[in-house]
Amino acid sequence: MSRLLLATAAMLAAFWPSLCNAAPVEISVDTAFPEYFDMHKAIGDAFMKAHPDIVVKFNSPAKTYDELLQRSLRNAITGDGADVAFQSYNFVQQTADRNLAVPLDEMIAAETDWSGLGYLPNITTMARANGKIYGLPFNTSIPFIYYNLNQANNAGWDVAKLPQSWTDVARLSKGIAEKSGPGTGLYFDYYYIVANLTFDALLKGQGGAMMSADLKQIRFDGADGMKALETLRELGASGMMDTTRDQAIQSFKAGSLGIYASTSSSIIDFRKAAGESGFTLGCSTFPLPDPDGRFPAGGNAGMILSKDPAKQRAAWEYIKFAGGEVGQFLVAKYTGYIPTNTKVLANPEFRANRYSDPCVKAAVDQLSRITGPFTFPGPNAQRISNALRDLMREAVTQKQTPAQIMPQMVDAAKRMLAN
């Protein structure tokens, strides 16, 4: 053996222990909703088994997406924020505008087989802002209606044919309330849901929009917006509960509320509750009055917030894993969120154990109709959404007519967009 090879071998022998004992990279992760922490923990554990050189630490989950965004904003000032945050699709724009997140385009371009990882193209665009991709899709849901079929049957409804229009939904809600008492008919999640998502769904289902594509002009003030407000008023008059979302969820799970309209993320939870409370669960998407109508997506995307290059590389591997085949399979196992990875959708185990559920099938079959949710531009986005939801409540509670409410909604939005 030559002296050069001997010297090289000696050098490697001396250096090898330091390589073997190198400390793993640790990344911290922020999430929302404590009820989904078990899902995140399962994905984190699976990831660390596959990547022993990376340690994933989860912070205490925020109660809502709004709380998570505010946490990220505060931590950006103090400099002790998480390396990864699973922000609502609705807040990707704000996160990008405030330079909190790292654009992922270069990381995606560097992947040798990006198209082979299974991401659905129309879903990947959910986390796009300012012409760049700032997050990878993780949890995705669509506007969804859950029915207590026992209550519907008692109200004289043919449960083999669920309502196909909002007027039918209101008629069934009224029938349930007449049989079971005030407040037992329906809860429509318009107030507590992030960024007016369900109102946006009422618009997009008709082919409408909240604003113009260039975000310069209000668009919800036309016939589509008036119809959306009329729908809220009609639902409110049909026996709708005027209560908090948490209370409505508990009432539905207990079997005392007949209809709950929100997103498909609760399929697993409601399926379990139906079994425990002894009622049959039925599901459908929101009605689409326009054949070309779309469903705005609910859910969140994995975003990299760290400024440290080593943590960014580790974070990239993690959000890629969470949106990949293993991560999305676990999402489908633990929640009602729709897996958005083609490999999972084709997985025989998923199709046998999850897609066979009619509620899951109803959501998955609409993947091609999913589009991005709307968020108002600028720093007042959340204030505008809050102002609009307060005015929507006037319609639901029958205190004002849509004709009275719409000018106030337009004025509030325009005033805060201008500031």
Dump pLDDT digits (tens) for 269-304: 999 999 999 999 999 999 999 999 999 999 999 999
Given this model, what pLDDT does residue 259 score? Answer: 98
Least confident of 7-21, 95-109, 256-270, 305-319: 7-21
Nearest to 297 by CA among 392, 369, 202, 378: 369
Question: Do residues 163 and 287 make contact, with C-beta atoms less than 8 angstroms apart?
Answer: yes
Q: Strand locations in 65-224, DSSP E?
A: 84-88, 128-129, 132-133, 136-141, 143-148, 186-188
Q: If you ran DSSP here, which 8-state letter would residue 222 be given?
A: S
- Residue 375 scores a pLDDT above 60: yes
Average pLDDT over residues 73-85: 94
Reported as a pLDDT band with limits 50, 70 and 90, residue 22 is: low
Average pLDDT over residues 89-103: 94
Average pLDDT over residues 82-94: 96
Rounded-to-integer distance, Cα 270 and Cα 203, Å: 27
Average pLDDT over residues 14-31: 71
Average pLDDT over residues 228-254: 95
Stated length of the chain: 419
Given this model, what pLDDT does residue 9 score? Answer: 42
What kind and span of H or E run contains 58? strand 54-58
CA 299 distance to own-chain centroid: 1
Residue 145, classed as helix, strand or coil, is strand
Average pLDDT over residues 44-63: 98
Q: Which domains occur in the chain, in start order? A: 24-141+298-370 (3.40.190.10), 143-296+376-418 (3.40.190.10)
Q: If you ran DSSP here, which 8-state letter would residue 186 be given?
A: E
Rounded-to-integer distance, Cα 377 and Cα 414, Å: 11
- Residue 2 scores a pLDDT above 60: no
- Residue 10 scores a pLDDT above 70: no
Burial code (b: 16+ CB inside 10 Å, e: under 16) for 169-187 equals bbbbbbbbbebbeebbbbb
Reported as a pLDDT band with limits 50, 70 and 90, residue 19 is: very low
Q: Record the tokens describing residue 391, joined without a space.
A: 């005015």
Q: Which comes out higher in pLDDT, residue 30 or 123?
A: 30
Q: If you ran DSSP here, which 8-state letter would residue 24 be given?
A: P
Rounded-to-integer distance, Cα 239 and Cα 178, Å: 8
As a whole-number percent, the residues of the chain with pLDDT over 90 amount to: 90
Rounded-to-integer distance, Cα 203 and Cα 293, Å: 9
Given this model, what pLDDT does residue 21 score? Answer: 53
Rounded-to-integer distance, Cα 44 and Cα 319, Å: 10
- Residue 316 scores a pLDDT above 60: yes
Q: What is the pTM of this model?
A: 0.91
Dump pLDDT digits (tens) for 165-197: 999 999 999 999 999 998 899 999 999 999 999
Rounded-to-integer distance, Cα 57 and Cα 49, Å: 14
- Residue 365 scores a pLDDT above 70: yes
